[in-house]
Structures are given as structure tokens and as C-alpha cells.
Structure 1
Amino acid sequence: MKERPRHPFVPARRQDTVRQELTALLREGSLTAKELSGMVGISEKEVLEHLEHLRIALHGRLDMTPPRCLECGFSFQKRERLKKPGRCPVCRGERIVEPSFTIG
């Protein structure tokens, strides 16, 4: 079996910084971290890290639609973390709608 020669991963050239791209996308409408990840081409974890910085830089204009449990309807209104929670504190369900973000 022949092995293919490995080529190093070369990222695409960007005109804007990642945060500028995220800001432009969020001004257009509400998106989840997973959707942003696919559009910008970085991991979800990196998107969340950039969103934390954007929240500070935008002085609270980054709006988050809170995650919600699909089983009991509990809404995570007071949650400060941007990452989707693992379980619902009320029913222990794991079917939770991801938070979405927009710039207001």
C-alpha cells in the first residue's frame, strides 16, 4: 500500500481578522457558535473565545439568546458563560438548544 505524501495544512488567506469577520456576520443576524464556526473556518471553542473578547470590546452590545431545555422548557436566563450547558438543572435533560448571538 502506497502512502500519500503529506502536505502541511495551509490556512486560507484572510482579508479581515477573525473577530472582524465574526462581527460582520453577527451584525447581519443571529447565529450559534456552531454556525459561526462553519462560516469562519475555525473550531467552536475558538469562536467562543473570540466571542468573550467581543463581548468586552463591544461594551455589552453582544446579545445572547439564552439556551433552553427542549424537555421542560427551562431557559438559562442568568447564564453568563457563552458555551451551551451540558444538562438542565430542573429535569436533568441533555436536549438543550444552543445559545445564539447577535450584535445589537
Structure 2
Amino acid sequence: MESTTRQRIAEELRESPATASELAETLALPTPVVYEHLEHVAQSVEEDEEFLVAPPACNDCGFDRFDDPVNYPSRCPECKSENIAEPAFTIESEA
């Protein structure tokens, strides 16, 4: 039985942290589609697992308090730079 896109994303994140762009490249999907799936993956992890997000951060001023850490902002609200590091995602076992 072939696994779903969300199952494949979850498996990748169980192996190692990844950004949406990295997942898109690995799974041959558009990055915006990966972001849509990540919202669902975050809600459907196993009971003994945790979906973790390293939030996006401005590479120029260091701002990292974005409203939605699962989204990839286009610019920094603090310094208006577009040099933003993508958020990274992982699924870790709590055991």
C-alpha cells in the first residue's frame, strides 16, 4: 500500500529536521503544498510524539517572534528585510 503525502512528510520529519523547501525537493512537491500538509501533520502526530518548529528568523536583525511559526513570512516586521530563514520542522518521540 502506498503511503499518503502527509505520511511521507511525517516519515521524513521523524528521520531529521527539514524546512518546507527541503521537503518539497525531496518529495517533488511545490513548497506551498508542503506548508498546507504540515498544518495537518502537526495535528495528527502519534500520542507519544511531538511536532516541533524552529520558527523563522530574520537573518539581518535576528527577529524571531513571527505570529505564525509554521508559515514562511516574506519580510521582517521589525527591519523590513526579506532575508528570512525558513522555519524548520521535526517530529520527535517523547519516550
* TM-score normalised according to structure 2 size: 0.84
Larger Rg: 1
Runs of 5+ consecutive residues of structure 2 not aligned to the other structure? none
Q: 1:26 to 1:55 in 2, by over 3 A?
A: same
Contact 2:56–2:69 (8 Å) recurs in 1? no
Once residues 86 and 38 of structure 2 are traced to their aligned partners in structure 1, the CA distance between those partners, rounded to angstroms, is: 14
Q: CA deviation at 1:56?
A: 1.3
Q: How many residues align?
A: 90
Structure with the larger strand share: 2
**Where in structure 2 are the equivalents of 1:44-59 lying within 5 Å?**
44-58=31-45
Give the counterpart letter for 1:31 in structure 2. A
Q: CA deviation at 1:81?
A: 4.9
Instruction: State the match for 1:65 in structure 2.
Output: 54
Amino-acid identity (%): 38
After TM superposition, the structure 1 stretch with the greater mean CA deviation from structure 2, 14-23 or 94-103, is: 14-23
Contact 1:66–1:79 (8 Å) recurs in 2? no
Q: CA RMSD in A?
A: 1.9
SS in structure 1 opposite 2:81?
coil
Runs of 5+ consecutive residues of structure 1 not aligned to the other structure? 1-13
1:46-81 deviation digits (Å, cap 9, x = unpaired): 1111111111112782111011101111113x5335
1:74-93 deviation digits (Å, cap 9, x = unpaired): 113x5335221111111111
Q: CA deviation at 1:16?
A: 1.4
